[in-house]
Each structure stands twice: as C-alpha cells, then as structure tokens.
C-alpha cells in the first residue's frame, strides 16, 4: 500500500531556509521507497535573507513558500491546506529555516513559539499518533509539539540541547549516522548537518529516519 507523507520545508538554503541537501535526500529516499509525497511550507515572509556566499545578511525580503518551491520544483502547497487525515506521516528537514521561519527558536531559544499553521499540523499528527520525523535542528521544536518528556536528538550540541531540556524535552546524544526514536510518541529524529561533515554523513541518518518512519506507517496496516 502506497504511503502518503507530508514534508514541511522552511525556505531554500541552510542559513535562512530549509537545508537543501537534507531536503533532497529526504525526498529522494521517500521516492526510492515508493512513498507519495506532498511538500508544504508556510506562506510567510522569511525572518531575513542571508547571502550564502558571504554569510552576510542582505536587505532582501523573501517568502518561505515561494523559496521552498525551488526545492520542490514548484510542487509545494501552503501549509494551511494540509490535513492530517490525508497523510500517513510527517517529516521536517532541518536548516536554520526551522529555527527562523517555522519557529523563532534561533532568537528566543527555550522561550520560542512555533509558527501557528505549522504547529497546528504537527500537533494534529501527534494527536493522531501518526509517525513524525524531525531532522537536524527541527527536533528543537519537539517539546512545543508533544509537550514535556518527548525524547529526541540534535546530536550533541550543548547549547541547543540545553534549550530543548528547558522546554521539557529529553535529549539523547546520537551519532550522525543513527536515529533516536520516541516509541511512545512515534517520533524519530536524526542529527544530520548538526554533526555531518559531508553529504554522505547526512544521508546515512536521514535514510534510516525515512526507512523507520515508513516502517511505522506499515505497522498501522496490521
């Protein structure tokens, strides 16, 4: 049975949007495994725009949905249109966009909030006990979605994991090639470029995450 997976993107580019390698690896693995995918993104202005050549902030203004369309080859919808009942699982790649556009974690840390439409959808998957995969920095939002006690990883970055702990998450250190699973909540996370030194490093954990998410969806068939 073909599984339907929603993927939330946060722009296009590691410093101000979705991490492109992580996003493409996720989409590639889902396609290799025969899943049907629909990308979504919030129709909001980016927090800011970074010149990825120099690392400096520019005066440009860009829209998260429009930028996400670059990765999705135009096949992306406003996250407001997403319905939990239409999908078997949800995956959120990383990149600073998760901490800047899907939330304000980059600026507020433990006091952050999640963008309203993204939070509605993610909470819906959690309430329906459907599998969710969070990649790279996006597990920083887990406690806001699931509440205290949620188990997840961003690798081993002390500052980020401390902020997650303050929000109520239980952080587990994890190798870049591995995953952490909260079996009660059916949440799977992997560090990816929080630790990865190259694209192959990132792919190792992301492939495991996608494979496990799809395994969990098939458990529902039994």
Out of 39, 112, 136, 174, pick the active-site residue: 136
102 DSSP assignment: S
Residue 152 is among the residues annotated as catalytic for this protein: no
What distance in Å separates the CA atoms of residue 202 and residue 208, rounded to the nearest whole number? 10
Beta-carbon contacts of residue 38 (< 8 Å; ≥ 6 apart): 4, 5, 6, 7, 75, 77, 82, 87
What distance in Å separates the CA atoms of residue 39 and residue 173, rounded to the nearest whole number? 29
What distance in Å separates the CA atoms of residue 18 and residue 76, rounded to the nearest whole number? 13
Q: Which of 133, 134, 141, 132 is CA-nearest to residue 106?
A: 141
Tokens 């995918």 belong to residue: 37
Q: Which residues of 151-164 are buried (b: 16+ CB within 10 A; e: fewer)?
A: bbbbbbbeebbebb
Beta-strand relationship, 180-182 and 187-190: antiparallel
Token pair recorded at residue 167: 């929000």
Active-site residues: which are they? 136
């Amino acid at each position: 049975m073909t599984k339907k997976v929603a993927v939330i993107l946060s722009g296009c580019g590691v410093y101000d949007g979705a991490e492109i390698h992580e996003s493409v690896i996720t989409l590639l693995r889902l396609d290799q495994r025969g899943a049907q995918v629909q990308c979504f993104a919030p129709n909001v202005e980016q927090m800011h725009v970074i010149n990825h050549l120099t690392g400096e902030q520019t005066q440009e203004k860009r829209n998260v949905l429009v930028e996400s369309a670059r990765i999705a080859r135009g096949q992306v919808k406003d996250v407001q249109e997403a319905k939990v009942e239409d999908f078997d699982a949800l995956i959120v790649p990383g990149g600073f966009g998760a901490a800047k556009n899907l939330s304000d974690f980059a600026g507020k840390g433990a006091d952050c909030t999640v963008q309203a439409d993204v939070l509605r959808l993610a909470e819906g998957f959690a309430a329906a006990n459907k599998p969710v995969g969070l990649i790279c920095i996006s597990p920083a939002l887990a406690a806001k979605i699931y509440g205290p006690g949620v188990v997840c990883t961003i690798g081993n970055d002390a500052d980020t994991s401390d902020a997650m702990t303050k929000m109520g998450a239980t952080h587990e250190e994890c190798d870049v090639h591995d995953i952490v699973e909260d079996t009660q909540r059916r949440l799977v996370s992997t560090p990816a470029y929080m630790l990865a030194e190259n694209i192959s490093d990132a792919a190792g954990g992301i492939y495991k995450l996608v494979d496990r998410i799809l395994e969990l969806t098939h458990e529902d068939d039994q």
